[in-house]
Structure 1
């Protein structure tokens, strides 16, 4: 009897554990399904005028005496009232701010396309779009699509200004050149109007170890250069021809939007810092995005648009785990540093 009781207890515990595991799996599956059904993301809009106003008022509140602060607030209120009366209730021009932080695949294009679609439902030629761009370039097709999204803005007749604070090179400059105006920080990197492709070839290594690698194709130029196979001079010539064709298309694209450029002089793959780029007419003015947007906020309503992609359960879980690991490593490293250098 004692054996049966112990066995019944063990069986009950086992069943409880199994049921708990099944429930957890069902919940995870349901959440994943809900995530897939929801999909997409959402557009976030922030009024930068409020952001600049909060910065200014915070500083004034901390620095000015009460009497001076009160007088300033009264003066600002009167100025705002007079400006509103002068305008006669007329709507201010709007400035829509987009951000593009490019990687080699131009992954941010997915967000950019939705942001452009949204703003074109409301923007008029009286308004302006400002793109804060940062990219060192990448894949031709990825940046070609990103540039096409910006071309939609120009085609709609909405003024487009591109601000480059750090870098807009290669595919990044392909995007930048679409702007009616390009503003650059003095030491930003611009240019690199060229095309590059590189790959290793280990054919001789494989041959040395008596390893054969077969490449079968249908079509004379289905494969030109390979990593494992033996490359031929004919394949190299075709590959180089493809690069030259892409470069020529790149040059024509740039000239279409910036005809003032001496394209053969600057389409060498070189890069220039902002100050030199101004002399080459790659940019129109030396100014940071912060300076420009602060100026525009004095006379227009400035809105920052950001399309936020909804993350899947796996992505959120992965980011959470990654964050925990990062915090543990940082804490460990800081403790190690203190023990080695501060004691």
Structure 2
């Protein structure tokens, strides 16, 4: 049975001032949207017929997403709160089972993050080696990076050492999505958040979970200098994401990537009642996606909404380049060389 007083107390403990986030952000909320961008976001949600502010069914879905996100943050931290991430199974959960559940949740989040870091870093480095024409072709698709002479610029990676901080922040937008989705699936809450995924998509999520449990963290620690160990986890993650990138007639309900964009969009405009107030204040609009400080939150609050969209576009291009390389059929004489 839900106990509101226990929930509020647990939430206060996890959101105390000074608690570290995963990114140690200087801010506790993203920069406020301009009126033009706010209007565009609301218009897009209306066009998508999803998470529209003021629409009863969509507001209920948004409330479910916020509650499940808080449950994910708490369950996967090293200081979980059962009141925020309650047991969803039948019967009662004893203390030993609860500790095991939270340990599994924390392990899943860490392994998914490690798989992203290991493989996306390698893909980013490989993207640097593509010919200029190929990297320029990527930017033609979205009209980006037109220089002063009117010529198409090339896709710029974040492979440089000095871009590590930005690279990790951009990657966190993706790791948060996959970590959240897999956790929600394990709790049976995907549909309550508006997602109607195909059997193939669900199979990919199941494959991610299966590969996570096969990872031997002890063996990886003993062979640390050799790197790797998370490659098998990355395979179903990449499959899930590529299906999302290639899916025709995508909507927020049938495509988890479009769904995530809608979530980020809805979160970004949720500060309508904060006008004239401190962006970093502790108010009821804190969803811990775009505002509010939560212990070990992986979402970077110093990456604003436009940059979050840029992170999605950036790594979509990295994934597409890698997919092109893996599926490219080279002439036989080239292969022999």
Question: Shorter-normalised TM-score: what interval?
Answer: under 0.3
Which structure shows the bigger proportion of residues in strand conformation? 1
Q: Larger relative contact order (C-alpha < 8 A, sep ≥ 6)?
A: 2
Over alpha carbons, which structure has the higher Rg? 1
Which structure shows the bigger proportion of residues in helix conformation? 2
TM-score by length of 1: 0.23
TM-score by length of 2: 0.23
